[in-house]
Amino acid sequence: MKAIVVTDQAAGTAGMTLAERPEPQAAINDVVVEVHASRFVPTELAWPSTWTDRLGRDRTPSTPGHELTGVVTALGYGTTGLLVGQRVVGLTDWYRDGTLAESATVEARNLAPLPGDVDFTVGASLPISGLTAWQGLFEHGRLQAGQSVLAHGAAGAVGAMVTQLAREFGAYVIGTGRAADRQKALDFGAMEFVDLDNDTLADVAGVDLVFDVIGGDIQMQSAGLIRAGGTLVTVVGPPEARPADGLAVDFVVESDRAQLGEIVQRARDGRLRTNIGNVATLDDAVAALNPTERISGQTIIRVRP
């Protein structure tokens, strides 16, 4: 089968090549998925799991991409809960070959059914951004209706989901980002917008939850805006700052079939809008994932037409 592979961490996304790889085989509790659409997160190439296995041994050439939609073509020994021919969506194991490929093996528990009326391209944009927002807001941030959320990067992949889910849940949402993204963030449901290059973050009144996707100085300033008992949730590594009287939490998103189902249902009924900027084929994936100009929104690789 055809797949994108990487072998050289220093080369970054420029080191991606389209290669011929062995057909994946299903192990216990796995399914093989014929991939229809895949998404790749550029920071994957900085994660150890792209380069080594769980014992730290080199696992290159490895195939990146950990979000997919597709159709189940085979079941491994003992696999339950999914059927051959079923449409699925999911977030795959960081330590296994990924989804920028014609087929992928995935543990069944990492997949959820994808209803027939949800397009494969839309579905592939949901797992990481949707699950990260869901887990950050509701599990780690323990958001309550009526609280306020500072959603950084509100026009980005995660931030757009944070903004929409927090609004739906009854929170007051202040979005942040680049000046050019103001309208996009407001369209996703932010009630106010802070242009981080030109406005003063310190002017924001106290908030109950900061959802950080940027880190550094922005995170440090944001920690000072958190009300007593509030939470800083960050997804860009161990917290560099803590609220004076609150919690700081960092986490890595996990697959969760029930949460994926909630997210897919919201995309289906229009409560969640996705943030797709470009769609390319697998043959064109290397170029699409090495853009020469800024692309606002996610790049989805449509592996099958």
Ligand X SMILES: NC(=O)c1ccc[n+]([C@@H]2O[C@H](COP(=O)([O-])OP(=O)(O)OC[C@H]3O[C@@H](n4cnc5c(N)ncnc54)[C@H](OP(=O)(O)O)[C@@H]3O)[C@@H](O)[C@H]2O)c1
Which residues contact ligand X (rule: CB under 6 A)? 41, 43, 128, 132, 153, 155-159, 177-178, 181, 196, 213-214, 218, 235-236, 252-253
Q: CA dist 286 to 33, 281, 296, Å?
A: 22, 10, 18
- What CA dihedral angle connects 155, 157, 158 and 163, to 10 degrees? 40
Q: How far is the CB of 82 from ligand X (least distance, A)?
A: 24
CB of 102 to ligand X, least distance (A): 25
Nearer to ligand X, 94 or 169 (CB): 94
The tokens for 127 are 């797992």
Instruction: Retrieve residue 78's tokens.
Output: 């003992």
* Residue whose CB is less far from ligand X, 102 or 211: 211
Question: Which residues have C-beta within 8 Å of that of residue 195, sequence separation ≥ 6?
Answer: 176, 177, 178, 179, 182
**How many C-beta atoms lie closer than 10 Å to residue 169's C-beta?**
16
- When CB distances to ligand X are compared, the closest residue is 156
In the complex, least distance from residue 154 CB atom to ligand X, rounded to whole angstroms: 8
Q: Name the residue nearer to ligand X (CB basis): 26 or 253.
A: 253
CA angle 217, 223, 225 (to 5 degrees): 115
- Rounded to the nearest whole angstrom, what is the least distance from the CB of residue 274 to ligand X in the complex? 12
CB of 116 to ligand X, least distance (A): 27
- The backbone region for 299, taken as left when phi is positive above 0, alpha when psi lies in -120 to 50, beta otherwise, is beta
Partners of residue 149 on adjacent β-strands: 173, 209
User: Within 10 A of 163 (CB to CB), how many other CB atoms are there?
Assistant: 30
Count of CB atoms situated within 10 Å of the CB of 172: 17
Query: Smaller CB distance to ligand X: residue 57 or 294?
Result: 294
Q: Is the dihedral of CA 149, 150, 155, 157 positive or negative?
A: negative
Residue 160, helix vs strand vs coil: helix
Nearest to ligand X of 26, 285 (CB atom): 285
Is 158 or 165 the residue whose CB approaches ligand X more closely? 158
Residue closest to 188 by CA, chosen among 209, 168, 206, 203: 168
Quote the tokens at residue 183: 């309208």
- Rounded to the nearest whole angstrom, what is the least distance from the CB of residue 249 to ligand X in the complex? 11
Complex with ligand X: residue 40 or 120, whichever CB lies closer: 40
CB of 28 to ligand X, least distance (A): 26
At its nearest, how many Å lie between ligand X and the CB of residue 26? Answer: 26
Q: In angstroms, rounded to a whole number, what is the distance separating the alpha carbons of residues 199 and 189?
A: 19
Whole-angstrom distance, CA of residue 87 vs CA of residue 222: 41
Closer Cβ to ligand X, 13 or 29, answer by number: 13
